[in-house]
Chain A
Amino acid sequence: MKLSTTSSELLGQLQTASRVASTRSAVQALSGVQFQATADLVELRATDMEVGLRIPLAAEVEREGTAVLPARLLLDVARQLPSGSLTLELRPAEQDVEIICGPAKFHLRTLRTEDFPPLPEPGGDQIVHLPARAFTETIAKVARSASRDETRPILTGILVSASGTELRMVATDSYRLSVKETRLEVPVEAGFEANVPARALQELERIVASGAEAETIEIGVRANQVVFRAGDVVLSSRLIDGQFPNYRQLLPETYEHELNVAGDELVGVVRRISLMAQKNAPLRLSFTEGELTISAQTPDVGEASEPLPVPFTGEPFEIGFNPDFLRDGLESVESGDVVLKLISPLRPGLIEAGDGSGFLYLIMPIRLNV
């Protein structure tokens, strides 16, 4: 294998590919990035066996071939290379790859190519095309609610479903639940539902946001795998087995209080006051006639409070929330009014986008010790 490219091109694509390479696998090749050079295409490939990524590298191929190089080390090298063109050549006899960029010359030992697994081709039993922007915006709305607790793998995924003109994503870590329903302009060809690791979808979101030239995302769903194609980038992921919680059952049918609040203002107050809610201290929301006071107190650190006019009527009540979770929900609404729906201090509260954009954020309160 011998190819020519530029150091900036290599660095740009490596930064994406290396994020997917495994950092803790017993199989050394999985910590690497595979270069696959054919006459018409050079592809960088990386996988940790859960998520796989194939990303093109703009390069001229002098000699076809395949090589696996340690992802982290190669990325560190690429970051330090001078700008300009570079050549990358596999030297089978030396079991290394020679990188020459200007006066700099590196010889990097290769990892075992035969240990690097083949990555799936795009396509699948069901293929759906969805607008890339709508898809990634929906991911961004719900991803924060997915659990990072690997002991409950089902909750580390985002339940993605599409049918007719509706795309829906749901994520929950049992403390909060995000649901985003996005209306599609064109009905999908075939509906599907899959629990996709949040990590894979967040990676896809990053790839699309960082300039993968894709109007649409092609989604191929297989028995236990999903393959996304955005432009020339192919991202595959295993699907998470098991029954995702029935989120509809979790949404209360009625609420005691329903308040329209200016989202930006509320987020600002929550961000400020949260600074004084440290060491698991809750954010305290005290509702009185026409006013909401948000306060927080951390022993030995300090306290803060700020009132906010809200159209609240009825008996005063107080409810506590995890400050990060509340902020996540409010920030996910992004702009405009938010609708706060509350029942009682120990029942879940709902944050809804006031513009009817189909975003719901259900959040469980924290018990307040007076």
Chain B
Amino acid sequence: MRLIVARCSIDYTGRLTTHLPEAVRLLMIKADGGVAVWHDGGSSVKPQNWMTPPTVIEEGDGQIVVRKLAGVTEDRLEIGIVEVLSDVTHDMGEAAALEKDGVERDLQEALAAAPAWCGEGFRLVRREWPTDIGPVDLMCRDHQDGWTAVEIKRVATIDAVEQLTRYLERIRRDPAMEFCAGVLAAQVIKPQARVLAEARGIACVEVDLDVVRGDREPELTLFA
């Protein structure tokens, strides 16, 4: 990663034409060819100008030209350098991928490990239980040994209810599972989804991932 702080002016030609008059800017040139031009103001997350890789970067006397083919035309960033205030290059090494927590998969893992949060006495039979229209997240047995399909969402909307309804319709075609019940488990269940689910005999369970994982104690309540 090369970071240049320079007094410069910049002309872009391509899909449109722009001109940045002379000022002090940070030029960020990534090893993959990506170029971003920053100034100390404006949008906090969006550069003033940028070019995504792959690019060709040509550096001459007082000028850096970044070119990129865009179909039959060419995007071109001409940076006229008046004064270089700083020019450093850092080896950034291998970057670890962004780790997201609290996504649907995390919830599924946590509930698979503790299915009782989905219903009294629930035991996990299988994760990703296959049906001919796609897998249902968890297949469990309840405290009376009845089959229960659990669909897990971070935010459950009416679409989630429709999805579970479709799975149940397929699952119940098997005579051994014709009484399979459905549970919609989510961190947030929209009121409309709850109404529709309950009208279709599908139970709704709101779960808190931190509580399911045991990272946080549940709030004390007078009753469940």
Contact = CB atoms under 8 A, between A and B. Distances in A.
A105 interface: no
Given A151-B189, A151-B194, A151-B206, A346 B220 contact: yes
Given A151-B189, A151-B206, A367-B217, A174 B194 contact: no
A253 to B, nearest CB: 15
Contacts of B206: 151
Nearest to B221: A174
Nearest to A347: B220
B222 A175 contact: yes
Interface in A352-370: 362, 364-367
B134 interface: no
B191 interface: yes
A250 B220 contact: no
A78 B219 CA distance: 47
Contact of B222 (A150, A174, A346, A366): A174
How large, as a class, is the contact surface on chain B?
10 to 19
A176 interface: yes
B222 A348 contact: yes
Contact of B220 (A172, A245, A367): A367
Contacts of B223: 174, 245, 250
Nearest to A369: B217
B221 A364 contact: yes
A8 B221 CA distance: 47
Contacts of B191: 150-151
Contacts of A150: 191
B184 to A, nearest CB: 12
Interface residues of A, number: 16
A177 interface: yes
A103 B204 CA distance: 58
A252 to B, nearest CB: 10
A364 B189 contact: no
Contacts of B221: 174-175, 364
B194 A172 contact: no
Given A151-B189, A151-B191, A151-B206, A176 B222 contact: yes
Contacts of B204: 151
Interface in B199-224: 204, 206, 217, 219-224
Contact of A250 (B189, B219, B222): B222
A348 B220 CA distance: 9
B206 to A, nearest CB: 7
Contacts of A250: 222-223
A348 B223 CA distance: 11
Contacts of B194: 151
B191 to A, nearest CB: 5
A365 B222 CA distance: 10
A282 to B, nearest CB: 11
Contacts of A174: 221-224
Contacts of A367: 217, 220
A172 B217 contact: no
Contacts of B189: 151
A348 B204 CA distance: 27
Contacts of B220: 346, 364-367
A250 to B, nearest CB: 5
A364 B194 CA distance: 27
Interface string A176-193: 110000000000000000
Interface in A153-175: 172, 174-175
Interface in B178-206: 189, 191, 194, 204, 206
A346 B221 CA distance: 10
Given A151-B191, A151-B194, A151-B206, A177 B217 contact: no
Given A245-B223, A366-B219, 15 more contacts: A151-B191, A151-B204, A172-B222, A174-B223, A175-B219, A175-B221, A176-B222, A177-B222, A245-B222, A250-B223, A346-B220, A362-B222, A364-B221, A365-B220, A366-B220
22 contacts: A150-B191, A151-B191, A151-B204, A151-B206, A172-B222, A174-B221, A174-B223, A175-B221, A175-B222, A177-B222, A245-B222, A245-B223, A250-B222, A250-B223, A346-B220, A348-B222, A362-B222, A364-B220, A364-B221, A366-B219, A366-B220, A367-B217
- A-B pairs, 6 with minimum CB distance: A174-B221, A364-B220, A150-B191, A250-B222, A364-B222, A151-B194
